[in-house]
Structures are given as structure tokens and as C-alpha cells.
């Protein structure tokens, strides 16, 4: 049987989308590699793993990289595999919340969508704010400049960074896809360059046994005593819970190691982007699923390799985790290499962060567009508009980018932004996984099968779904306790807002995804 042409494959994708209730509006241009590249770029091992290298190191020492990264990667792969199967069954831009609607009902869909929306906007804000901090700092170091690094200057730098990112997303998916493809090569080549330069020219080389060294530099109890919310500092409320104070005081290296796992988990966010790009992807049932899974799998391998090289070239743990020398990775690089090579690495990392932000805007704007298409949020009539010339959701891009900048105007809440983004996203990931597992066990309603999901977990699906859900419960708690207590209270406030908004407004009018295919057919008739 002859292979189908690209046009035939696209027509099949359009037909599959029509069966799910939507007419093709976005420009279907992405191949499998480009779809994978979007998620791989958002995960960006040269962003999360770099910025948070010192965070994990202060809790448990080198073992947080040697054992912590593989441990987190393994459980995250269970989440990614569970999501990939759903992406194969339901290849729509709505992704997670559309899955929740089909597997549950409009209420499940609405909650999933809001967690996903909040997570997307927070993660983009966190990525580009951190990129602004890093890039300004790198420019000052490389060119001996004195660019201000206060919160106002950083927000202005963030807006300057996001302007070209937003314009590229507006002017079409072709350029975005090409830059995402380029981002994959940039990240992998960047890791290889960092490894080669440190291995050949590094001035500080630790013995292999150093990888298995454990040390607590920052005591959990010291970091847990209080938390800041803007100009106000509060004593920890959670430490008053019976048994919690004793856990922080006497938990030792084991408890510190668990707290340090946040370093790796913060990095693994945003890979739902491959699902959100399904309506712009050729052979979406397979390529979107592989994009979700492979972005995590490849990042886990390349990231581990990079972390091992960096760990083996730590000059001194105490100095490396000292906030005065942050970010820790640049401290390692400049302590090991001559200025020229160190500057090269600084540029590589800065560009990787910019590409990460670019891809995050792509995913965020598509998710918001999809939810607005179904009238799920205030201002949906504007956000769901597709520009007829560029076939991109222009207003969705503009509005979400603006909100991301406004979110960081008050820089004191940055740490909460980072933690909340991960918690909200993983709750959005978990809901459709739970519904799929529930329906499969009950043998009622819709659930994934090899017949409706070409990318199928088959008999392993139930077990992997359960592992994924247990892991999400674990990290949700982990991101909500000291030293991330502010994030925990922030999530409670967000949930309270969602509860009130649902009962005051959304409950009356939101009925779930609305079929645009039927409207299209009616118009044509």
C-alpha cells in the first residue's frame, strides 16, 4: 500500500479534528520534530536546571544531582507517558481540558483549564523574568557594564525580551517552528560545549567519588522559620502543626534530600505544549504524543550528563551555593575557565533561556485560545480571534504576554510564581490522567484504548497512571510546605478564587467545549 502524501496526512488530521468537534482554523505546518522541539525548548535544561543548580546543592550536596535528577526523571516519565496516550486519543489545541471534558464533564474541564491557564501564565512569567535577571547579569559581567538589576529594571528588561518573542509568535507558525527546531540543536550543542570546555580546561576537577558526597549546607529548619509576602514577613504557620517542627529539626540528610528534589521538578514543566500544538501538527495522533514523551525522555538524559559535568567541577560547595555568587552555574564556569570561554558559555545559556521563553509563549497562547474558543474565560470573544493573514491567535498572544509582565511587576513574589506554576500545571496534568484511570477501571465512559489512541500504553497504562498520580500528590505537598510555604498559601487563594468565580459566573454559562465544526457546516449550508 503506497504511503500517504503530506497533503493526504493533513486531510486526515483535519477529519480527525472535525470528528472531535472542531474545524481547522490554525495553520497545520509542524512535523514531528518541530512538535517535540516546542516541549523540549520549554523544559530547557539550560534554563531550569541551570538557575536552580544551587537550590538543590544547598540541601543535599552532589547526591541531589547524582540520584535526585534520575529519580525525578523516572516519575515524570510516568506522567508524560500517561499524557502522551491522551494526546494521541484527543489531538486538539485544548489539550488537557478537552481531555477532562471527554473523560469527565464540563466541571472537570473547567477546573483543569483554569489550573492549566494559571500554570501557563506563571511559568512564562517565571521563565522570562529569570531570563531577564540572567541576561542583564551576564551582560554586566561580559562587557563590564553597570545595567541596573533592581526589580523595576528587570521588569523592563523582561518586557524587552518578550517583545520579539511575541512578534515572532504573531507572524506565523513557520518561523516559530524553525526557531524551536534550532533550539533543540542549540541546547544539545550547548551542553556538549559546556562539557568539553570544562573537561579540557577546567581548573577544579573533583574525584569521581565526589558525585556520591552528601552535605547539608542550608539547614531546612533555618529556611522554614518564616516566609516573605511582599514587604511583610510572617512566621511559619505550618511549623506549628504537631510533628512538623521536629521533622525539620531532625530530619537529617534524608529529609533535606527530599526538599532538594524541587530543583529537578521545576525543570520538568511545560511539556504539555506538544498537545496544545496538535492542531498545527501533521500526523497529530502520533507526533503530539511522541512530542510529549520524548521531550521529557531526551531532557532527562542530556540534563543528567550536563549535571554530572558541572558537579565534577564545583570548586567549593559553600561558595557555589552562596547567594552572593548566584547563579551557581556561572560561578562554577568563571572559576574554572578563562574569561573568553566562560563568556561563550554565558551567551549559550542566555540564548537558551530566550528560546525557552519563545516556546512557552507559543504553548500559553494556544491553550488560552482553545479555552476562549469555548467561552471559558472573561474576554473570550477577543482572545479566540484568529488573524486571517497569519492564522495565529494574535490577541491571545498579546494579552497573555501582557499578563505575564504584569505578574512580575511586584518581584518580591517571584519565588511563589515559580512554585505555583509547577503545582498548577501538574494538577492540570493529573486530572485527565485520574479520569482516564477511573473510567478504565469502571469500564464506563470514555477511556484510552489501542483503537482510539495509536500511541498506546496498553496493559501498562493503569499502572503508569497510578504512579503518575501518586507522584503529583507528592510534589503538590512538597511545593506547598516550607521553604515554599508562600506557594502553598497562594494555591489556596487561587483555589478559593476559582470556587467563587465558578459559582458567581461560570456555572451559569460554561457548558464545555462547543463544536465549531457544526457551526462551520451550518454556515456552509
Domain chopping of the chain, boundaries: 29-524
| 522 confidence band (pLDDT: 50, 70, 90) | very low
| More confidently predicted of 22 and 114 | 114
Cβ-based neighbours of 298, under 8 Å, separated by 6 or more: 36, 40
| More confidently predicted of 163 and 525 | 163
Which secondary structure element, helix H or strand E, spans residue 232, and what is its range?
A: strand 232-235
pLDDT of residue 276: 83
* Secondary structure of 416-479 as H, E, C letters: HHHHHHHHHHHHHHHHHHHHHHHHHHHCCCCCCCCCCCCCCCHHHHHHHHHHHHHHHHHHHHHC
User: In 90-172, which residue ranges form alpha helices assigned H by DSSP?
Assistant: 96-103, 106-143, 151-170
| Chain segment 58-90, per-residue pLDDT in tens | 999 999 999 999 999 999 999 999 999 999 999
pLDDT of residue 4: 76
| Chain segment 111-157, per-residue pLDDT in tens | 999 999 999 998 899 889 888 988 888 888 888 888 887 778 888 99
pLDDT, average across residues 323-337: 90
Q: What does DSSP assign to residue 234?
A: E
Residue 518 pLDDT greater than 60, yes or no = no
| 412 confidence band (pLDDT: 50, 70, 90) | low
Separation between Cα atoms, residue 240 and residue 39, nearest integer Å: 40
**Mean pLDDT (the chain, rounded):** 89
| Chain segment 479-507, per-residue pLDDT in tens | 899 988 888 888 999 999 999 989 988 88
Residue 414 pLDDT greater than 70, yes or no = no
pTM comes to 0.91
| Chain segment 178-216, per-residue pLDDT in tens | 888 899 999 999 999 999 999 999 999 999 999 999 999
Distance of CA 201 to the CA centre of its chain: 33
Instruction: Give the torsion sign (CA, 508, 430, 24, 1).
Output: negative
pLDDT of residue 524: 40
Separation between Cα atoms, residue 264 and residue 416, nearest integer Å: 17
CATH code for the domain defined by 29-524: 1.20.1740.10
| Chain segment 5-14, per-residue pLDDT in tens | 877 777 887 8
pLDDT of residue 521: 41
| 223 confidence band (pLDDT: 50, 70, 90) | confident
| Chain segment 228-262, per-residue pLDDT in tens | 766 678 899 999 999 999 999 988 899 999 999 98
Separation between Cα atoms, residue 419 and residue 490, nearest integer Å: 10
pLDDT, average across residues 298-304: 96
Instruction: Compute how many other C-beta atoms are within 10 angstroms of the C-beta atom of residue 417.
Output: 22
Give the phi and the psi of residue 228 in degrees, each rounded to 5: -100, 140
8 Å CB contact between 133 and 156: no
Residue with cell 477511573: 438
Amino acid at each position: 500500500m503506497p504511503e500517504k502524501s503530506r497533503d493526504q496526512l493533513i486531510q486526515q488530521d483535519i477529519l480527525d479534528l472535525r470528528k472531535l468537534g472542531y474545524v481547522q482554523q490554525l495553520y497545520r505546518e509542524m512535523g514531528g520534530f518541530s512538535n517535540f522541539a516546542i516541549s523540549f525548548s520549554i523544559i530547557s535544561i539550560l534554563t531550569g536546571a541551570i538557575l536552580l543548580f544551587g537550590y538543590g546543592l544547598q540541601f543535599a550536596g552532589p547526591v541531589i544531582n547524582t540520584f535526585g535528577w534520575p529519580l525525578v526523571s523516572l516519575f515524570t516519565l510516568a506522567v508524560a507517558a500517561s499524557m502522551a496516550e491522551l494526546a494521541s486519543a484527543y489531538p486538539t489545541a485544548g489539550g488537557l481540558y478537552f481531555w477532562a471534558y471527554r473523560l469527565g464533564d464540563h466541571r472537570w474541564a473547567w477546573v483543569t483549564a483554569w489550573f492549566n491557564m494559571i500554570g501557563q501564565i506563571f511559568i512564562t512569567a517565571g521563565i522570562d523574568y529569570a531570563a531577564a535577571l540572567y541576561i542583564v547579569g551576564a551582560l554586566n559581567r561580559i562587557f563590564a557594564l553597570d545595567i541596573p538589576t533592581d526589580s523595576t529594571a528587570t521588569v523592563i528588561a523582561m518586557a524587552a525580551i518578550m517583545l520579539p518573542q511575541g512578534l515572532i509568535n504573531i507572524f506565523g507558525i513557520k518561523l516559530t517552528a524553525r526557531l524551536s527546531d534550532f533550539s533543540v540543536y542549540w541546547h544539545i550543542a550547548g551542553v556538549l560545549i559546556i562539557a568539553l570546555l570544562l573537561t579540557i580546561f577546567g581548573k577544579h576537577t573533583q574525584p569521581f567519588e565526589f558525585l556520591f558526597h552528601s552535605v547539608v549546607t542550608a539547614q531546612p529548619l533555618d529556611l522554614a522559620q518564616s516566609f516573605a509576602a511582599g514587604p511583610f514577613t510572617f512566621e511559619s504557620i505550618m511549623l506549628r502543626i504537631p510533628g512538623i517542627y521536629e521533622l525539620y529539626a531532625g530530619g537529617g540528610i534524608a529529609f533535606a534530600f527530599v526538599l532538594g528534589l524541587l530543583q529537578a521538578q521545576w525543570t520538568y514543566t511545560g511539556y504539555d505544549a506538544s498537545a496544545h500544538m496538535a492542531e498545527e501538527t501533521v500526523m497529530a495522533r502520533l507526533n503530539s504524543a511522541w512530542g510529549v514523551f520524548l521531550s521529557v525522555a531526551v531532557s532527562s538524559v542530556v540534563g543528567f550528563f550536563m549535571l554530572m559535568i558541572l558537579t565534577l567541577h564545583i570548586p567549593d560547595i559553600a561558595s557555589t551555593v552562596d547567594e552572593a555568587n548566584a547563579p551557581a552555574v556561572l560561578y562554577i564556569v568563571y572559576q574554572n575557565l578563562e574569561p573568553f570561554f566562560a563568556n561563550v558559555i554565558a551567551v549559550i545559556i542566555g540564548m537558551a533561556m530566550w528560546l525557552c521563553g519563545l516556546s512557552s509563549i507559543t504553548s500559553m497562547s494556544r491553550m488560552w485560545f482553545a479555552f476562549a474558543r469555548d467561552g471559558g474565560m472573561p474576554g473570550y470573544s477577543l482572545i479566540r480571534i484568529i488573524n486571517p493573514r497569519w492564522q495565529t491567535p494574535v490577541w491571545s498572544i498579546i494579552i497573555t504576554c501582557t499578563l505575564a509582565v504584569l505578574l512580575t511587576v511586584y518581584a518580591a513574589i517571584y519565588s511563589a510564581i515559580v512554585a505555583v506554576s509547577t503545582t498548577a500545571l501538574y494538577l492540570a496534568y493529573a486530572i485527565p490522567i485520574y479520569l482516564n484511570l477511573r473510567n478504565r477501571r469502571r469500564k464506563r465512559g470514555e477511556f484510552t484504548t489501542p483503537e482510539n489512541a495509536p500511541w498506546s500504553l496498553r496493559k501498562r497504562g493503569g499502572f503508569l497512571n497510578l504512579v503518575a498520580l501518586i507522584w503529583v500528590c507528592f510534589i503538590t505537598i512538597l511545593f506547598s510546605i516550607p521553604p515554599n510555604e508562600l506557594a502553598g498559601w497562594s494555591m489556596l487563594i487561587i483555589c478559593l478564587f476559582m470556587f467563587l468565580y465558578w459559582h458567581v459566573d461560570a456555572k451559569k454559562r460554561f457548558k464545555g467545549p462547543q463544536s465549531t465544526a457544526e457551526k462551520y457546516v451550518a454556515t456552509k449550508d
